[in-house]
Amino acid sequence: MENLIALLVAAPLLGAVVLLCGGRRLDRTGHWLGTLFALGSFVVGVVLFMDMLGRDADDRAMHQHLFSWIPVGGFQADVAFQLDQLSMTFVLLITGVGSLIHIYSIGYMEHDERRRRFFGYLNLFLAAMLILVIADNYLLLYVGWEGVGLASYLLIGFWQHKPSAATAAKKAFLVNRVGDMGLSIAIMLMFTTFGTFAFGDVLAATGETSEGKLTAIGLMLLLAACGKSAQVPLQSWLGDAMEGPTPVSALIHAATMVTAGVYLITRSGAIFNGAPDAQLAVVIVGAVTLLFGAIVGCAKDDIKKALAGSTMSQIGYMILAAGLGPIGYAFAIMHLVTHGFFKAGLFLGAGSVMHGMNDEVDMRKYGGLRKYMPVTFATFGLGYLAIIGFPGLSGFWSKDKIIEAAFAYDDGIRGWIFGGVALLGAGITAFYMTRVMLMTFFGEKRWQPDAEGHEPHPHESPKSMTIPMIVLAFGSVFAGGLFSLNESFVHWLEPVTSFEHPHPVISVPAITASTVVVLLIGVAIAWFMYGKRPVPVTAPRGSVLTRAARRDLLQDDFNHVVLVRGGEHLTRSLVYVDHTLVDGVVNGTAAGVGGLSGRLRKLQNGYARSYAVSMLGGTAVLVAATLLMRAV
Amino acid sequence: MNPVNYLYLAALLFSIGATGVLIRRNAIVVFMCIELMLNACNLAFVAFSRMHGNLDGQIIAFFTMVVAAAEVVVGLAIIVSLFRSRHSASVDDASLMKL
Amino acid sequence: MSFPLLTLTAAVPALGAIATAAVPAAKRTAAKWLALFFSLVTLALAVVVGIRFNTGSGADRYQLTESHSWIADFGVRYELGVDGIGVALIGLTALLIPFIIVAGWHDADPQETGNTRWRPTQGFFALILMVEAMVILSFEATDVFLFYILFEAMLIPMYFLIGGFGDRAHAGSDENAAAQRSYAAVKFLLYNLVGGLIMLAAVIGLYVVAGTFSLSEIAEMRAAGELEMATNTERLLFLGFFFAFAVKAPLWPLHTWLPNAMGEATAPVAVLITAVVDKVGTFAMLRYCLQLFPNASEWATPVVLVLALISIVYGALLAVGQRDIKRLVAYASISHFGFIIMGIFAMTSQGQSGATLYMVNHGISTAALMLVAGFLISRRGSRLIADYGGVQKVAPVLAGTFLIGSLATLSLPGLAPFVSEFLVLVGTFARYPVIGIIATFGIVLGALYSLVLYQRTMTGPVKLEVAKMPDLKLRELLVVGPLIVLLVFLGVYPKPVTELVDPAVKHTLSDVKQHDPEPEVAAK
């Protein structure tokens, strides 16, 4: 059974190679092939899952050693896979949601002439993401980590003829690279500390080193997670990443890739457990991003960017939970999975809306779409209820647990602060999601003919698009409840992540009750602002906070002024320095030698008499010198 | 007579020759001055021969004469051909290594 | 007396050069095929060298040795031998030359057809083969004087290749381009000659101190404790050697010849410079500086590491600021050479294995990127980045290969350069954490210049001038395809090279009496 693990990766990888190298011959069948390879990987995942379920809880991890990758002295990197409960969860999520999105893309990308390549990139993404989650050492994880970065780069910039898409793609890759720097340094630290970077060896040996080392490693891992999971301060790329086709936003920038940071922190739990300072940093990053993303999400009029803000915020919840230690890991992953369902569903719904609205993304130009797109409305609505944590739906189960765990952080003031932040975030989530819902599906229709006079004709999307949405909606509704039956999800993960029951500073029913109250307040405010009153087609100027939030809380402006402008000046002045100073010294020497020889050349004037003088003078000097030497 | 006087004469003749080489422009005159310097050397050699009481100096004087004769042949040939092409025997005109 | 395999490996391209040069003017195409044939035979011989080389634990350090008396009065001998590092680099050289020849297939066609005695094509390919012969022999030499002669002699064909066969895509008039080209060629020559002269002084100094030029004899003397070298003498001699190698490598601040040379030369010649000839510099640091002057190497390490670090960051930042595609690649190479030199002087097995691997990988990745860039430039007739845009839409295969070349340059995991870059970083970090961490910034900057280049040339709206640009032709695909396959293969399975290099690195480390730092927590 172990030998099947490599097949998980091999199938989509083969798909990517075939589709990308196959040329135009595959243009007509490429999308089916790509979907087939994705489904194949999913089937293998399910088979492995069944096998895993059939064994004892402590005996479920599987290993497959393929070959020795980089053997240099004490540095031994292997290509080896490890499939345990944590990886298995991810494998099913990635291949499952991935396959659904492949199917959805068949319809969504129907009219794109480069559809084959799109599916090739999607397969490439699946392969890289699977390597990321089933690698058995940090270096191989790094391969997947950058591999998904590459796939994300290619897919964000898929419509490369748009300069904005190309820029967004580059930005995403660069910001991610800053995070990758953290991962590299973390691996190097592990190597110098433990002499290895295989999960099993490192995580077992954390007790033998100092807390300082663990904190350093933990902070570097956090930097990596910040880059990949769009957490403050490396969050700026996610909003721009919405330039990519919507299925990409659903798969990569909502359900799977951006959650890799959560995976990394959970996987490295043993390191963080030994470094409370690093954990605190993780929790702070999570809490700040949770609010940051939520605030940004409130102000955006672009439906995808609003959802992107929401993604950021929800991943903030997961990071927060992962920073809480054994009381939070399982809930972080649980929220990750349910979020995978409802956020992918929401994005696909947004894509479906855009599909029917001539790719319009401004929610102020939607309105009243529930009549035209009933299926989209229903699935989007269920996703909406799930994400705001409506009691009984998926989001409720997972988010509520995170809020509980946050209140249990450290039994004191920290519990209150972070619990409060998590609770507040739930309210804001309810607000902005209700806003999205109301602006898109309710109210009067506000669409207008575009510049060329085409009036949008909203219509329901084809079956290939609606079926994945329906499946995801089922997940959004039932997954959370299913996972919470007898705490089955927590027990499933317990052998990998360990688990402790949280002891919140206030009682659990009180937390649940206040969550529901906060949620209702958020919905109510949104209804008063966007449901009761008509939505203006052009955005009002808004308060200072609104305007800042529209500009991602000015973080991009800061980046632009400090990094982009500063960098441009730096490189330009360095080019100047290189040309004038470094090269100037050399050219100056050359000019000096040239000038000197120019002077000397004048002595060679061709007049025999002047040569005779120098000969005579030379003779005189020689004679004088000889006499002088003799005299001395 | 004291042979040293011959040396003084040789030095005087050599100086006259050297000055002539340096200040005169006519190639023939320069040439004659060079001959003068050579002969001043010959005089000095013979005087030294006398002073030291052996024949070495006289032998070298003969060598010098042979060299001078050869030099005159080549040198005059060059001067004549220069004069033919330039219609001048000034050494300053021939400052480039081409005709 | 065994079969002189190493001599043959160097002699075949030399013979090829003579044969190619002798082809009559009218038979240009025959000359090309002849050159290609000889380069392929060389490649086959290099493979044989690799197979015959024994990497077992008890194997000799230098193998396949040959030794003949040459200039007996000065103790100069014709001594050859290879260690794993040499084999890897001979392999790289022999591998790249056929690609360079095929890529430059039309670069030296005479522009006017009237003159029937004019034979630039023959000269071009003969010079390339000549360079190959000298480079291979310099990797094989185990006699310092023999190495010195080759180190200098390869400047001559390189000078003519740079000065005589310029890139036809240039801004401004023909005279202007010719002036720039000769400036670049003279600059290349002068820089390297100055370095070489200083090295000559050091070579003579070494002879005075040691009484021999033979590496193996010097090693024996050192092992027996008979080699007396005063500290200052050793340091001066080290500096003499290092200066020459740092010019060739090139290390900041001796780098300014490289952008000129690479910018003005044709793309294949630019590859020849940076991927093949410059490797002699880094190779020689590893072999001569460390082996001959271990104590002085240790003494110089901090300064060299800082210079390497400056090269990494400085080269990358300048690459971002370039407007010329080929100059951008040149500055990127300066950054990469910084990594190689850093790995060598980190004095750890990861660092040095990584540096050797880096030499090989950088050769392949730069060749891939630069040759595709050359194909691109030849289509549009401009080297300026600003003249391109949207090429991806009209020539997707070209753009795709260009992207893979760029990704290799930024060391994406899965492609070969990642392995070496990471090894260098780990090796440096293990001993000098601060330098290692700063060097890690290089990976962000690397991504910056690579992706900026790709974005500005390949994406965005299609520019009018590139709208009719044809995609890669079969000849061009034959050049790029195998290089990309190699990049992927060595990225996934670098073991053959690391196994080849490992024993040599162990020997070098024992020369400088260094051990890898132990991890804090002992392995179980």
Per residue in C124-177, pLDDT (tens digit) is: 899 999 999 999 999 999 889 999 999 999 999 999 988 888 777 665 667 787
| Residue A486: count of CB within 10 angstroms of its CB | 8
Query: In this model, does residue C1 exceed pLDDT 60?
Result: no
Half-sphere exposure of C364 (CA within 13 A, CB side): 31
Say which residue the tokens 């609770």 belong to.
Answer: A423
Tokens, residue A582: 């470094």
Q: Which CATH architecture has domain B3-88?
A: Orthogonal Bundle (1.10)
Tokens, residue A544: 């200072």
DSSP result, A60-81 = --EEEEEEEEEEETTEEEEEEE
The reply to whether residue C414 touches residue A167, judged by beta carbons under 8 angstroms, is: no
The reply to whether residue C459 touches residue A191, judged by beta carbons under 8 angstroms, is: no
Determine the 3-state secondary structure of A82 from DSSP. strand
Residue C194, chain A, CB below 8 Å: the answer is no
pLDDT, mean of each 10-residue run, chain A (632 residues): 86 91 83 91 92 84 88 86 91 92 89 88 93 92 92 90 89 91 92 88 86 92 92 87 89 89 92 91 93 89 90 92 90 92 91 85 83 89 90 88 88 86 92 90 80 77 88 89 85 85 85 91 89 78 78 76 80 82 81 87 80 90 93 79
Amino acid identity of A323? G
- Report d(CA C81, CA C139) in Å as an integer: 9
Query: In this model, does residue C113 exceed pLDDT 70?
Result: no
Q: Do chains C and B touch (3 or more CB pairs under 8 A)?
A: no
pLDDT of amino acid A370: 84
Is C125 in contact with C35 (CB distance < 8 Å)? yes
Residue range C445-472, pLDDT digits in tens: 999 999 999 998 888 888 888 888 888 8
pLDDT of amino acid C172: 63
| Residue C62: count of CB within 10 angstroms of its CB | 19
Residues 6+ apart with CB under 8 A from A113: none
Instruction: Give the pLDDT mean for C173-196.
Output: 85
Tokens, residue C107: 């670069």
Is A12 in contact with A37 (CB distance < 8 Å)? yes
Containing A267, the helix (H) or strand (E) segment is helix A260-267
Burial of A8 (0-12, 13-18, 19+ CB in 10 A): buried
Residues 6+ apart with CB under 8 A from B90: B25, B26, B27
Residue B2, chain A, CB below 8 Å: the answer is no
Query: In this model, does residue C100 exceed pLDDT 70?
Result: yes
Highest-scoring range by mean pLDDT, A585-594, C102-111, C343-352:
C343-352
Chain C contacts of A69, Cβ < 8 Å? Answer: 492-495
Chain A contacts of B30, Cβ < 8 Å? Answer: 608-609
pLDDT of amino acid C524: 47
Buried b (16+ CB within 10 A) or exposed e, A352-380: bbbbbbeebbbbbbbbebbebbebbbbbb
- Partner-chain residue, chosen from C390, C447, C517, that has the shortest CB–CB distance to A161: C390
- Report d(CA A141, CA A139) in Å as an integer: 5
Is C419 in contact with C494 (CB distance < 8 Å)? yes
Would you list the domain boundaries of chain B?
A: 3-88
Residue A79's φ and ψ, nearest 5 degrees, are -95, 100
| Rg of chain B in Å (alpha carbons) | 16
Residue A161's φ and ψ, nearest 5 degrees, are -70, -15
Instruction: Give the pLDDT mean for B24-38.
Output: 90
- Partner-chain residue, chosen from A605, A606, A613, that has the shortest CB–CB distance to B22: A613
pLDDT of amino acid A631: 82
- In chain B, DSSP assigns E strands to none
Is A388 in contact with A433 (CB distance < 8 Å)? yes
Is C38 in contact with C129 (CB distance < 8 Å)? yes
Subunits with 3+ Cβ pairs within 8 Å of A are B, C
Query: In this model, does residue C523 exceed pLDDT 60?
Result: no
| Residue C320: count of CB within 10 angstroms of its CB | 22
How far does CA A20 lie from the centroid of its chain?
24
Tokens, residue C269: 């010649």
Indicate if the alpha-carbon torsion angle C218, C220, C222, C228 is positive or negative.
Answer: negative
- Report d(CA A359, CA A391) in Å as an integer: 34
DSSP result, A423-470 = HHHHHHHHHHHHHHHHHHHSSS------TT-PPP---PPPHHHHHHHH
DSSP result, A355-386 = HHTTT--BGGG---GGGT-HHHHHHHHHHHHH
pLDDT band, very low/low/confident/very high, at C114 (cuts 50, 70, 90) = low
Residue A607, chain B, CB below 8 Å: the answer is yes
Instruction: Give the pLDDT mean for C200-214.
Output: 88
- Report d(CA A241, CA C188) in Å as an integer: 45
Buried b (16+ CB within 10 A) or exposed e, A281-319: bbbbbbbbbbbbbbbbbbbbbbbbbbbbbbbbbbbbbbb
pLDDT band, very low/low/confident/very high, at C337 (cuts 50, 70, 90) = very high
| Residue A555: count of CB within 10 angstroms of its CB | 18
pLDDT of amino acid B99: 57
Residues 6+ apart with CB under 8 A from A191: A75, A197, C426, C429, C430, C519
* Mean pLDDT computed over every residue of chain C: 88
What number is the ipTM of this complex? 0.90
- Report d(CA A373, CA A380) in Å as an integer: 10
Q: Could you give the C-alpha distances from A509 to A419, A420, A515, in angstroms and in order? A: 14, 15, 10
- Report d(CA C257, CA C331) in Å as an integer: 11
Residue C55, chain A, CB below 8 Å: the answer is no
- Report d(CA A332, CA A139) in Å as an integer: 24
Is C175 in contact with C388 (CB distance < 8 Å)? no
Chain C window 461-520: which residues touch A at a Cβ cutoff of 8 Å?
461-462, 492-495, 498-499, 502, 516-520
Least confident range of A504-513, A588-597, B87-96, C354-363: B87-96
- Report d(CA A138, CA A203) in Å as an integer: 11
The reply to whether residue A607 touches residue B91, judged by beta carbons under 8 angstroms, is: yes
Residue range A156-175, pLDDT digits in tens: 989 888 888 988 999 999 99
Q: Which stretches of C416-473 are DSSP H helices?
A: 416-431, 433-458
Is A326 in contact with A269 (CB distance < 8 Å)? yes
Residue A612, chain B, CB below 8 Å: the answer is yes
Say which residue the tokens 């005169």 belong to.
Answer: B24
pLDDT of amino acid C473: 87
Amino acid identity of A194? F
Give the residue with greater pLDDT, A542 vs C210: C210
Burial of A546 (0-12, 13-18, 19+ CB in 10 A): middle
| CA-angle at A398, arms to A394 and A399, nearest 5° | 110
Measured torsion, CA atoms of residues C28, C32, C38, C41, in degrees rounded to the nearest 10: -140
DSSP result, C320-338 = HT-SBHHHHHHHHHHHHHH
Residues 6+ apart with CB under 8 A from A92: A42, A45, A46, A49
Chain A contacts of B96, Cβ < 8 Å? Answer: 606
Instruction: Quote the DSSP letter at residue C72.
Output: G
Distance from CA of A555 to the nearest CA of C (A): 20
- Report d(CA C116, CA C119) in Å as an integer: 8
Is A67 in contact with A422 (CB distance < 8 Å)? no
Would you list the domain boundaries of chain A?
A: 1-274, 284-540, 560-631
Nearest CA in chain C to A580: C256
